[in-house]
Structure 1
């Protein structure tokens, strides 16, 4: 299976940085390209979207990886899952929450794994 068309959902958090590094390495190996996806919910600003996709763009440019960005509005897990139809793989970060925090906040990554139509690589933040 070839993972050339890589989707990297980003919210600009520290958890995403580890996932971006993994996606860049995967793209190098597969001679692929990366699409950074920022999903604007009702609280997100344009500045947050620009910063989040900007980080992915910087990492891709530094590694010589072809890059494009997409900013869409909606419920993050649902939008990411919908975009999975256009990609070979999703590489995304997670904070690795457990217990009460996970119960209260939920996990976008977990929902994406259930809903996506392509493989999902979930990279846990190293903190």
Structure 2
């Protein structure tokens, strides 16, 4: 496939024990590892980074970690980020993907973010439930 495309994105299961993940990592030019800012995610991400290191080496241009669904203003985010930067050959990307409650709310009420934006969650749920009765 690499001969026909400039970029191929493979979304793998977050498991070091899944053979598909291992094969995809071994075939990759770059591995992007998303993680939440929690101790549990840090623990599992360390496992994935060890797998990346075994498959592609410790070249800093082979992998990067991006924080996903985070509030960068919390102490927990800062602590997990600092811990991940220690003894890790791969960069922690400056860009993050913010935790946005509006996406969850929109899915929950069967609407788009544009129709939910600016409304209180309870009002949206109540109005949607009322319409179904």
Greater Cα radius of gyration, structure 1 or 2? 2
The alignment's TM-score, normalised by the length of structure 2, stands at 0.40
Structure with greater contact order relative to length (CA < 8 Å, sep ≥ 6): 1
The alignment's TM-score, normalised by the length of structure 1, stands at 0.41
Larger strand proportion of the pair: 1
